[in-house]
Structure 1
Amino acid sequence: MKGEKCVMGQGVGSQAVKARAIVQSRDRLKQKGEFPNNGLRSPEAEEGGCGVTGFACNIKVKGRHIFAPSVQMHNRGNGKGGGIAAVGLDAQQLGVDQETLKSDFLLQIAFIDPGVVQDLEEEFIRPHFRVDHEAWLETVGDYREVPGLEMEPPRVKRYFVRVLPQVLGRFQEEVGLSELEPEEAEEEFVCQNTFQINMRYYSSLGEKRAFVLSHGRDMMILKIVGYAEHVTQYYCIEDLKAHIWIAHQRYPTRGRVWHPGGAHPFIGLDEALVHNGDFANYFAVSQYLRQRNIFPLFLTDTEVSALMFDLLHRVYHYPLEYIIEALAPTTEMDFDKLPEKRKGIYRRIQASHIQGSPDGPWFFIIARNLSKQGA
């Protein structure tokens, strides 16, 4: 951790203090329950070959246009997990105004067991958030109407939320985040609340009953046990418009998927990440995250990838160049050809993060909302 402090402290001492405070605030989450497999990936969760696709456009494009490329990579999946993410949505289609779409967290929850809706809302939503809009996602009448879809997908409810001011103030005081700006603290509250929902209704139960699909601003994720193209059909999003679409076909050749939680994409905060490949050092990356009080629950390479990206981007505030170097270190001749100043920076990044860098063949597509940065 010494090297990490050094990297974080380059002209951003206050940010280093904030980052350490966020990491320490998550220590209380250890008390919430036992974590699956103590960071070990079970055989049921192991990855194989997968298919990923995506596109971005300066005009909003209908969801039907992610359908065709998903079908084209149908052979890269085996029906055990498919998912889609959309970023840069159409406010009117979602029943809100543009300001709500831009500023509210779009909390989207998959209810495998609809019987837990009231309990979940009463514990994790109503007491903590101002709910500006909520709605169940439209679906086809019967999942068997979708050719090839063999398992009924979960019902999904969408909430546009902001943390209540009194809740946020109490949270900052109780977990030691008084140094953070309210917006930064609100983001961390949303992430920790999502973790607790998943612990209660997904990880700690033998029967998986509900989990958070996404919670970012102006973005959404949907995933099922099936193929990616089934998502667009079952949830009737062929006409939903967005600037960015990504999709994933899962092919876990060495495992099985018995619920949609293990499918991709996975979330950071305002990011959705899909992945093809396999980490040889999954346990090492998981331990790196656990040392920073980040606890993977879904036991997949893709989940730890999204958590790592969120740590480097939102908590450590690294620019994209440094994030890439932390995830994929520059080596050998490529490193030797770097200017001396950049070599020095990269050495410090590698010293801090090499144990958390994924090892093995991997490929990411990340869709993210950068509206906070004026993008």
Structure 2
Amino acid sequence: MVEIEKIQSFAISNDPKDASGCGIFGIFNTKGDLIDGNKIVSAIDIMRDRGNGLGSGYAAYGIYPEFKNYYALHLMIDDDLAKRAVEDFLERRVMVAERSGIPTRGMKNRKRPMFFVYFVLPRAQGTKAESEYMSETDADEFINKLVFFINENINGAFVISSGKNMGIFKGIGYPDEIANFFRIERYKAYCWTAHNRFPTNTPGWWGGAHPFGLLDWTVVHNGEISSYGANKRYLEMHGYKCTQKTDTEAIVYLADLIVRKHKIPIELLAKIFSAPLWEEIERMPQDQKKLYKALRIIYGRALLNGPFSILLTFKGGIMALNDRIKLRPLVVGKKDGVYYFSSEEAAIKHICSDIKDISSPDAGEPVIARLTDEAYNVYYGVQDEED
């Protein structure tokens, strides 16, 4: 009896800053074959003890083929007043091809917001004032500004994802509860990520659950970004507003700024987030030393300090990355063109028992998987050079 009580005391931690808190999982099929939603739920739920019921979520790519050329705005809305305000705003600024409630099931004894999806494209503005407010010719930048306006100015409404042919589903609950609520088993995707949350310094609320998204970017994160203050101020200098009350959202905004706007390759983004130590840079060959010094100087405030492991997804690809000292676990497996990313090896083997190629990436070294050219063309058309 004494031994059983001892085991239970270790199984349930009373420390709100549990070092192993949060679990992440991702599946990516490079051939573009669709993966059933039940598989990602089974994988993340096996790491149930990494969360405490204060947040879980899923990101899925390739789920809206009939509207693949439209931005799929997933909105979390508190009440009918907020819904009317959002729809009035959208009617003036975008063409809405389709709108509907996101299919959900009930949740017992839990207050929850409403969820809607709007498939939209930018359009020419109707009045001079509106044209001056949003005159961006670039469609991504137009939607970017639209998302931030809603999140900052319309009370009771948040855009939780805004990319093409993808969506985020998240809320308060354990992974199986959120999967059941959003009917995740209905969806099939070529890329899935999932998160089981154990919040430390930020509140547990529906919008604060992971993944976080902007345009085609999403991120799930285990750890703590101690550089959040510096990252946030740097982002605000470039017009981004952190409104979700958590450090993780800064990661997705930094990716959008550095890769989409500054045209820095995703491989170098990893070296900005998990920058080599100065003493390591000094030992590099001259060409590398020059490059990494420039990255540290120019993007010093985009460095992610603190312990973390992240899965950063984007149009046609995914990147797994640890902090530069590897203070959080990250395991990667590969079999038949499918990549598996996890906080624990057990979760990978739970859904792919015969996998052989499993490793733990070195600190600060990214693992990047992309769709084949053929698969990319199916989902997104011919790839642009800047993609």
TM-score range, shorter chain: 0.7 to 0.9
Q: Is the 8 A contact 1:247 1:274 kept in 2?
A: yes
Q: Is the 8 A contact 2:92 2:125 kept in 1?
A: no
- Asked whether 1:71 is paired with 2:35, we answer no
Q: Is the 8 A contact 2:281 2:293 kept in 1?
A: no
Q: CA deviation at 1:212?
A: 0.6
In structure 1, list runs of 5 or more residues that go unmatched. Answer: 1-45, 92-96, 145-149, 203-208
Query: What TM-score comes out, normalization by structure 1 length?
Result: 0.74
- Asked whether 1:132 is paired with 2:123, we answer no
Change (3 A) 1:155 1:354: same
Change (3 A) 1:167 1:213: farther
**In structure 2, how many angstroms separate the alpha carbons of the residues matched to 1:127 and 1:310?**
26
- Asked whether 1:143 is paired with 2:143, we answer no
Instruction: State the SS of the aligned residue for 1:301.
Output: coil
Query: What TM-score comes out, normalization by structure 2 length?
Result: 0.72
Instruction: Read off the aligned partner of 2:79 and give its amino acid letter.
Output: D
Instruction: Read off the aligned partner of 1:354 and give its amino acid letter.
Output: G
Q: Could you say which residue in structure 2 is the equivalent of 1:112? A: 78
Change (3 A) 1:234 1:176: closer
Structure 1 residues 108-117 or 318-327, which shifts more? 108-117
**In structure 1, how many angstroms separate the alpha carbons of the residues matched to 2:301 and 2:90?**
36
CA RMSD of aligned residues (A): 2.6
Q: CA deviation at 1:129?
A: 1.1
Q: CA deviation at 1:109?
A: 0.5
Task: Specify which of 165, 170, 179 is matched with residue 232 of structure 1.
Answer: 179
**In structure 2, how many angstroms separate the alpha carbons of the residues matched to 1:176 and 1:120?**
20
Task: Specify which of 32, 35, 56 is matched with residue 61 of structure 1.
Answer: 35
Instruction: Read off the aligned partner of 2:118 and give its amino acid letter.
Output: Y
Q: CA deviation at 1:250?
A: 1.1
Task: Specify which of 206, 217, 220 is matched with residue 167 of structure 2.
Answer: 220
Instruction: Read off the aligned partner of 2:149 and give its amino acid letter.
Output: Q
Task: Specify which of 94, 116, 136 is matched with residue 157 of structure 1.
Answer: 116
Q: CA deviation at 1:301?
A: 1.4
Q: Is the 8 A contact 1:248 1:274 kept in 2?
A: yes
Change (3 A) 1:334 1:192: same
Larger helix proportion, structure 1 or 2?
1
Q: Could you say which residue in structure 2 is the equivalent of 1:81? A: 55
Q: Deviations over 1:216-235 (max 9, x none)?
A: 01110011111222222111
Instruction: State the SS of the aligned residue for 2:249.
Output: helix
Q: Could you say which residue in structure 2 is the equivalent of 1:252? A: 199
Q: CA deviation at 1:174?
A: 5.6
- Asked whether 1:187 is paired with 2:140, we answer yes
Q: Could you say which residue in structure 2 is the equivalent of 1:283? A: 229
Instruction: Read off the aligned partner of 2:42 and give its amino acid letter.
Output: A
Size of the alignment, in residue pairs?
303
**In structure 2, how many angstroms separate the alpha carbons of the residues matched to 1:52 and 1:256?**
19
Change (3 A) 1:125 1:52: same
Q: Deviations over 1:330-364 (max 9, x none)?
A: 22564345432222122111101112211111111
Q: Deviations over 1:126-173 (max 9, x none)?
A: 111111111111122x312xxxxx524322111111011346998776
- Asked whether 1:293 is paired with 2:293, we answer no
Q: Could you say which residue in structure 2 is the equivalent of 1:261? A: 207
Change (3 A) 1:360 1:226: same
**In structure 1, how many angstroms separate the alpha carbons of the residues matched to 2:128 and 2:222?**
40
**In structure 2, how many angstroms separate the alpha carbons of the residues matched to 1:169 and 1:315?**
27
Q: CA deviation at 1:211?
A: 0.8
